[in-house]
Structure 1
Amino acid sequence: MEHEFQRIMVIVVHKGVDLDAFGSALGLSSVFGAKVFLPEPKNRNVAELVKGVEEYLTSEVDETVIFCDTDSVGNWKAEYIFDHHGTVFGANSSAVTLWLNQCGYLMRIPDNIRCLLLSGIYEDTGFLRYDSTKPLDLESVKLLRQLHSNLVGMDVHISPPLSEAHFSAIYKIIERQEQIGILGNTISLSYVYEKETNGEISSIVQLLQATQEIDAYVLLVGGKNRVLGICRARENVPLWDLLASLNPVGHRYAFIFRSRGNVEALFSTLPELIREEVLKYTLVSDITLSKVTLIEPLPVASALQFCRQYGLSVVCLRSDHTFFYITRQDLERLNRLGYGERDVLSFSEPFPCFKQDEDLSTAYPFLKRRMPLLVEKEDGFYIATTDDLIRQGVLQFYENPSEVLKVGEQVYNQIGPLLSKLTEKGVKVYLVGGAIRDYLLGKEPDDIDLSFEGDVEAVYNVLCSMGISCQLIPKTFSVKGVLNGTKLEFTRARKDYYEKPGILSEVATSDIIEDLERRDFTINAIALQLNPGVSMLDPFQGLSDLKRRTIKLIKRWSILEDPSRAFRAINYKNKLNFTLAPELEEELRNVNVKGRPAPRVLMEFRDLMRSSQVFQNIKDIVRFDLMRFFGESFLFDDILEQGLSLLEKRALQENMDVRTLSEYAMALIGLGFRNMDERKRFFKQLGSSNRFNKLAEELLQRLR
């Protein structure tokens, strides 16, 4: 056979390679003119079959590598990556078979290799018996059988004699089974480690598929509890297909899902992985709902009184055939901030109403945005709040996208032993705030911000016991420390109360959801649970906004509560090169500020002036008229705009240090106050009226 690829390449497959990977690698090698490298230990079955295909094998790797299995990626340098697994194939060899046929290569492959491809498909589908078998598997088998005249002895490839390892693994599976509940359904689940199969994974998979006492089983690899595969014996437990629908990184047989700690922690995450599929078979009316009365729009204070009178946690409104809701907690905060006479509709969120015969999978995307479930029945409207749905096991916010799991791995590499100790003390730890955001953006954060649920003294004691220099700060429920040069800050999950706009809030302990809800922007309201399992918590779709590079408020009115968030939005916009959501831009232009600016506003303003994006920050401050926070006479005219350009050129020419540049920038923007009393007060608030007046006069001289 003449090869169309001139360079000699090597295909590397994983340790304990099975027939599926072996056949796929050989099929590709015959096309590329490549050699196959099989790391030790080999699967017993494959070790026997190697004798007939030695011409395709190599004992060393010193050429360009094509990977045939993603488990090998970490060990070799690859110019190309060929993954023999496919997301729509029950058997992985089917993907290679159909690809080879499409390219016109299948007929040119030797009989013995086509036999191995067929064996790989049979191996993964139990001779096409398993529910994971797909139509494309059948098509692949048909193609191979048409080209292969002698199928005698095929069963020897895929049904080797049972060994002691088989029996030992099955006994362990039966001993370890436990029950998990999902929306009223009970599933028997068990597990086995790859190392306990003695390399006989393929045949043990077939045995487990036929083990009717257990509904589903998990294959685990290594000490990190990474899932190698999830299958089920009972037909109505479609774990295999459900996990495939999550689009895991890598191949569909070795799902890239990591759970640190003990195996029980892994089990606790499984219901979240399969819940969404179960919801397709659950009607919204199957959930426990409460009768609700829809009211017409009214003032905030009246809505709050309505909540208190009837003991409600949510007010539901109807206006022009559209439904809105607002929580009692938000009403309390708005009323405390002095907005009791404002129309509650201006602070409320629109939400859909579902019919009683719709399934929960339709409502689930809305429920995950922390919206209540509103259902219209024949006798009226019914509701279940977010907390109701969490208590019923219908709703959760944990997910496992691959990029988040990679972040978990990075954090464990830095503070893994510390997290293990905290797990032993019953402390749940979450990576939060700027740290998780920076990791997801591919940056290494300077500090690691961690939120936790548990006892703050337990955190402090664990850090001390590990010899980590740390400080306990009872007022903020936090512990600060340094580990291997990395700054750590553990802060108890908390909720806050603002008595007046912009002042420091009063805090109280809470759960992680309330902790995220109190934050400013969705991109800062993502948490990564680090123990006992790695899962993302994203109740406000911050990850989507991060991917869209958009800054969005969690609450539309949160700038009213803390005006410093207006300046923080500008900071994030220019520091991260993001865009502002339209509703955030509207809030920046419309938010009313009365009285003197709060200390937090001044702090955020100074940060903008000390930033490397100071010139763009000033342009945005002017564009959104944020200097109205400091006075009413501000006007940034053409002369000051010219001054900004001159300052930018001067800073570049003189290589001006950050402090000097920030002082000139603040002096320049202070010149925008036409009222001299407001200008003087502004410079005084910044710390030195005389210093800034001198700088302002210098700038005026240059502009003249």
Structure 2
Amino acid sequence: MDVITTHINADFDCLGGMIAAKKLYPDAAMVFAGAQERSLREFFMQSACYAYEFKRIKDIDLEDITRLILVDVCQAERIGPFGEVAKRPGVEVHIYDHHPNKPHALRGTVEEVRSVGSTVTVLTHIFMERGIHPNADEATMMLLGLYEDTSKLLSHATSSADYQAAAYLVEHGGNLNTVSDFLVQELTSDQVALLHELLQSLTAINVNSIDVHVAHASVDDFVGDLAVLAHKIKDMHALNALFVAVRMGDRIFMVGRSRLPEVSAGEILEEFGGGGHAFASSATVKDLTLVQVLDKLPVVLRRHVNPHWEARHIMFSPVKSVQKADTIAQVREILTRYNINAMPVLDGDRVVGIITRQVVEKAAHHLLEDIPVSEYMSSDFSSVTPDTALQTLQELIVGRHQRFVPVVEDDGQLVGALTRTDLLHHLVSGAVARRRQGIGDPGNGLTLKKRTVAHLLRNQLRDSLQKTLSTIGAVGDALGRSVFVVGGFVRDLLLRQENFDVDIVVEGDGIAFAEEYARRYDCRVRAHKKFATAVLIFADGFKVDVASARTEYYLEPGALPTVENASIKLDLYRRDFTINTLAIALNGPHFGELLDYFGGQNDLRGKAIRVLHNLSFVEDPTRMFRAIRFEQRLGFQMGRHTVHLLKSAVRMGFLDKISGPRVFNELVLIFRESDPLPAMRRLDELGLLAFIHPTLSVRHLSDGTFAAAKQAVDWYELLYTGERCQRWKVFFLCLLSDLDHGEVQQIVQRLAMPPQCEEFFGSERDAATRILNQIEWRSMQSYRWRDSDIHALLKDLPVEALLYGMAITEHEEARRTISHFITHLRHVKCLLRGHDLQSLGLAPGPIYREIFDALLDVRLDGQVVTREDELQFVTNRYVEKIEEKPSR
């Protein structure tokens, strides 16, 4: 197996060198030896270089490597785990570097080490010598490395060979605009002053519902790298389309940047005598003043920015509706249940009217709840088709004041609807939330991927999981169903954290989808028809949860929800926090497209935990515990309004309305976290512990108690005893450590713990406390323990109780005693068995237990070691005595 790698903390020269080396070794796997510099990580996030299939170290069997190709490095200590591979006999090492005469350098079978400005230069000259031609993307990534290592061909290490290499890469499509965008450099004082003036002038022009930002300035002398300043402004304000115009002397310099297919920067600046790509362009204007350029720009934008939005792009579906014979009371109940303000009224499948909450409330106020809705619905309305243009929708909603617009097919069947709020949201952010169809290619070179996360799926997930998600999307395509991966998996993907809990949502019958998937692929299905969910179980034990897209409502605070089928948007709306409302489309045409209806990405960036609506904690008070768990696990902070809502729900007693088992489950999840103490403090601070029991608090506990518990649990897990430890029980015991038996029993009953937990936190906790007191007392008396004494004292305690004892004791000798029992005594067994005693002439009976107890004691105390020793002990102590007894 061939592997291409580079030094840890890789930079652009490493990336460009690896891409170039792949041309020389097409069958080799590209693997980073360690971390990458920040600028390179950002490049991976924004570019399409995932197509080059970089692999992770954990996906590579180091023993299979027979040839190691090193790029921009020749020292074993700089290539992480590949250092040992490079030194292994039989491994062929090829080195491409521009750092000659390095101390302790590796020696390679092939060595191409030249004194030039970058490793990319070395490899480019090999291309030139052998007639190898990179494509535009490869040339651009190589050019990034060359320009970075030579400080844009201005460093003292730059040679003529570097200029030749740069020219060769530009000739083969290397994009200097992309290079300028991604390379970070220090700004000069003139550039800083110009940047400040540009930021002061930054304004937005709304063109056909898309915001295009414009910045301008005027300086007397030339200031270089205007593209760099434009890139900084675009990133500072997260702009999707930006045009910068600066007068420098007698000329106007313009730069355009766009992330939107609807805004072609190249076409727009062509009208000013310039040009470029759809996503990056520039122009130099000689015959216009700055004022004239700024007057002309909006006119040009109106000609070129044309997104062709239609009703299908902004409507929601499915739509809640009522029949014309339904009563006002029935309609009122539906409007309240689903928190909506208007609905279509149907006669069979045909829309015949619209009813609003205001009309229903007034009718109810006048005691007309039993009257059919057809009596008070509005029949003076217009409907539209899915391909109705945005301009028509604006005229209908704004000009004719129709707040609710049904969307129907040509045959009159209702397929969606849109409201005045939907139109407003689109006008404000429609340019950012691109259409799910017709997303164009911004041009040649490296394609920026701002609205999809397909690159994250390819770069962060193991190959088997990527394949599973791809096949799930393929089955969705075959069934004509939209399929999404949702929730925590998506959240953690964006946070670059591992999460193998995969939740799939299907717009349609989730169980039928799972059964069809299992029919096509090698897995089993476990269906839960009551909840319209299923689990796909693969041959290796991996599981994927599948559910139908659904909405839910609560008949009363704290009750379990009632669930109904719905769209993906409504499914996401029922979730707990905005950061858990993200979804990724898996269907082929849209694979990797990120759905963010509720600002989840913003809250991930802002590290905020926010509920979706004001009644969230009222409808499901267990969300209070989840908010704190996510807050502490992710290092986030609850938004101020969310904290206010939580405190209000606690103060109003909604926690009393949820069942004990649901609260207990949330506590267990918190105690399963690596360090639950911060979450416990937050629960205490917000009054949730007092709800469980008035005397429960962590304020009396020192940090040392939970820290010692964590240390004890981590220590035990490193022993690899093969016996599972439920770490949450250890932490739960620490929380209860200062409570008496009666108080603990009240908590057990309040939480309705299952019988095994009731026993553990009851009699077993009491026994552990009593035994720990004995150990501590004997330790203070300098008691000389025999191992058999320790074993007799601790043998019946669960491992969690033992670790709890290690955590709370303040006596080091007591801690060592428990540790010694766990590591050396707990699993000691006698070598003899019952048939051995029978062979000695001992008849089965109660004496067997006596013999084995005595035998275990002498083994623990080191008096017997071998099987023969045990036989001798039993013969001397028991067999001889039996033989000495007179016969009757």
TM-score, length basis structure 2: 0.41
**Structure 1 residue corresponding to 2:628, chosen from 554, 558, 570:** 570
Distance 2:705 2:548 in 1: 47
User: Which residue of structure 2 aligns with residue 606 of structure 1?
Assistant: 668
Question: Any stretches of 5+ residues in structure 1 without a counterpart?
Answer: 17-27, 39-52, 62-66, 74-80, 86-92, 126-131, 137-181, 186-226, 246-273, 289-303, 316-327, 333-371
Q: Report matched runs for 1:1-400 at 5 Å.
A: 12=20, 32=118, 37=123, 57=129, 71=138, 82-84=142-144, 235=267, 243=279, 278=305, 313-314=340-341, 384-387=419-422, 396=433
User: Which residue of structure 2 aligns with residue 474 of structure 1?
Assistant: 529
Maintained 8 Å contact 2:20/2:120: no
Q: Report matched runs for 1:500-539 at 5 Å.
A: 500-532=556-588, 533-534=590-591, 535-539=593-597
Comparing 600-609 with 513-522, greater Cα deviation is found at: 600-609
Distance 2:748 2:466 in 1: 52
Q: 1:394 to 1:568 in 2, by over 3 A?
A: closer
Determine if the alignment matches structure 1 residue 664 to structure 2 residue 733: yes
Comparing 678-687 with 659-668, greater Cα deviation is found at: 678-687
Once the 2 structures are TM-superposed, how far is the Cα of residue 624 of structure 1 from its aligned partner? 1.3
Determine if the alignment matches structure 1 residue 427 to structure 2 residue 481: yes
Distance 2:21 2:637 in 1: 44
Determine if the alignment matches structure 1 residue 407 to structure 2 residue 441: no
Distance 1:502 1:30 in 2: 70
Once the 2 structures are TM-superposed, how far is the Cα of residue 427 of structure 1 from its aligned partner? 1.8
Q: For residues 671-694 of structure 1, give each alpha carbon's deviation from its aligned partner in whole angstroms, at most 9, with x where no partner exists.
A: 6997x9954643655655565345
Once the 2 structures are TM-superposed, how far is the Cα of residue 519 of structure 1 from its aligned partner? 0.4
Once the 2 structures are TM-superposed, how far is the Cα of residue 470 of structure 1 from its aligned partner? 1.1
SS in 1 for 2:683: helix
Q: 1:583 to 1:112 in 2, by over 3 A?
A: closer
Q: 1:669 to 1:622 in 2, by over 3 A?
A: farther
Distance 2:690 2:575 in 1: 24
Distance 1:680 1:114 in 2: 73
User: Which residue of structure 1 aligns with residue 829 of structure 2?
Assistant: none
Asked which structure has the greater RCO (Cα within 8 Å, sep 6+), the reply is: 1
Distance 2:638 2:172 in 1: 52
Maintained 8 Å contact 2:262/2:307: no
Distance 2:574 2:18 in 1: 54
Once the 2 structures are TM-superposed, how far is the Cα of residue 308 of structure 1 from its aligned partner? 6.6
SS in 2 for 1:443: coil
Distance 2:453 2:612 in 1: 21
Comparing 468-477 with 458-467, greater Cα deviation is found at: 458-467
**Structure 2 residue corresponding to 1:461, chosen from 496, 501, 516:** 516
Q: 1:111 to 1:514 in 2, by over 3 A?
A: closer
SS in 2 for 1:423: helix
Once the 2 structures are TM-superposed, how far is the Cα of residue 662 of structure 1 from its aligned partner? 4.2
Maintained 8 Å contact 1:11/1:34: no
Q: For residues 219-276 of structure 1, give each alpha carbon's deviation from its aligned partner in whole angstroms, at most 9, with x where no partner exists.
A: xxxxxxxx9x99989957999865459xxxxxxxxxxxxxxxxxxxxxxxxxxxx99x
Maintained 8 Å contact 1:469/1:481: yes
User: Which residue of structure 2 aligns with residue 593 of structure 1?
Assistant: 653
Maintained 8 Å contact 2:559/2:619: no
Once the 2 structures are TM-superposed, how far is the Cα of residue 542 of structure 1 from its aligned partner? 1.3
Q: 1:35 to 1:472 in 2, by over 3 A?
A: same
Letter in 2 for 1:589: K
Once the 2 structures are TM-superposed, how far is the Cα of residue 516 of structure 1 from its aligned partner? 0.8
Maintained 8 Å contact 1:13/1:68: no
Q: Report matched runs for 1:575-654 at 5 Å.
A: 575-591=633-649, 592-594=652-654, 595-598=656-659, 599-631=661-693, 633-634=694-695, 636=697, 640-642=700-702, 645-646=704-705, 648-649=707-708, 652-653=711-712
SS in 2 for 1:417: helix
**Structure 1 residue corresponding to 2:550, chosen from 477, 494, 497:** 494
Distance 2:477 2:165 in 1: 50
Once the 2 structures are TM-superposed, how far is the Cα of residue 394 of structure 1 from its aligned partner? 5.4
Distance 1:69 1:466 in 2: 38
Maintained 8 Å contact 1:426/1:454: no
User: Which residue of structure 1 aligns with residue 83 of structure 2?
Assistant: none
Maintained 8 Å contact 1:523/1:545: yes
Q: 1:478 to 1:617 in 2, by over 3 A?
A: same
User: Which residue of structure 1 aligns with residue 503 of structure 2?
Assistant: 449
Q: For residues 514-571 of structure 1, give each alpha carbon's deviation from its aligned partner in whole angstroms, at most 9, with x where no partner exists.
A: 1111100111110000113220001122123223333222223311111001111122
Once the 2 structures are TM-superposed, how far is the Cα of residue 386 of structure 1 from its aligned partner? 4.4
Once the 2 structures are TM-superposed, how far is the Cα of residue 102 of structure 1 from its aligned partner? 5.3
Once the 2 structures are TM-superposed, how far is the Cα of residue 468 of structure 1 from its aligned partner? 1.9
SS in 2 for 1:488: strand
Once the 2 structures are TM-superposed, how far is the Cα of residue 620 of structure 1 from its aligned partner? 1.8
Maintained 8 Å contact 1:502/1:561: yes
User: Which residue of structure 2 aligns with residue 682 of structure 1?
Assistant: 750
User: Which residue of structure 2 aligns with residue 350 of structure 1?
Assistant: none
SS in 2 for 1:430: strand
Once the 2 structures are TM-superposed, how far is the Cα of residue 420 of structure 1 from its aligned partner? 1.6
SS in 2 for 1:543: helix
Letter in 1 for 2:455: K
Distance 2:471 2:646 in 1: 44
Once the 2 structures are TM-superposed, how far is the Cα of residue 512 of structure 1 from its aligned partner? 0.7
Question: Any stretches of 5+ residues in structure 2 without a counterpart?
Answer: 1-12, 25-113, 182-206, 211-258, 282-300, 316-330, 343-355, 361-392, 405-418, 437-448, 717-724, 774-807, 811-888
Q: For residues 289-342 of structure 1, give each alpha carbon's deviation from its aligned partner in whole angstroms, at most 9, with x where no partner exists.
A: xxxxxxxxxxxxxxx979979x99449xxxxxxxxxxxx99xx9xxxxxxxxxx
**Structure 2 residue corresponding to 1:483, chosen from 525, 538, 541:** 538
Maintained 8 Å contact 2:264/2:279: no
Distance 2:642 2:305 in 1: 37
Once the 2 structures are TM-superposed, how far is the Cα of residue 72 of structure 1 from its aligned partner? 8.2
Distance 2:517 2:547 in 1: 14
User: Which residue of structure 1 aligns with residue 857 of structure 2?
Assistant: none
Distance 1:677 1:373 in 2: 64
Distance 1:430 1:517 in 2: 15
Maintained 8 Å contact 1:671/1:679: no
Identity, % of aligned positions: 19
Maintained 8 Å contact 1:14/1:72: no
After superposition, the CA RMSD in angstroms is: 6.1
Once the 2 structures are TM-superposed, how far is the Cα of residue 421 of structure 1 from its aligned partner? 2.9
Letter in 2 for 1:406: H
Distance 1:387 1:82 in 2: 45
SS in 2 for 1:559: helix
Distance 2:752 2:136 in 1: 66
Q: 1:10 to 1:406 in 2, by over 3 A?
A: closer
Distance 1:386 1:425 in 2: 33
Letter in 1 for 2:609: I
Distance 1:556 1:374 in 2: 33
Maintained 8 Å contact 1:523/1:551: yes
Once the 2 structures are TM-superposed, how far is the Cα of residue 499 of structure 1 from its aligned partner? 1.3
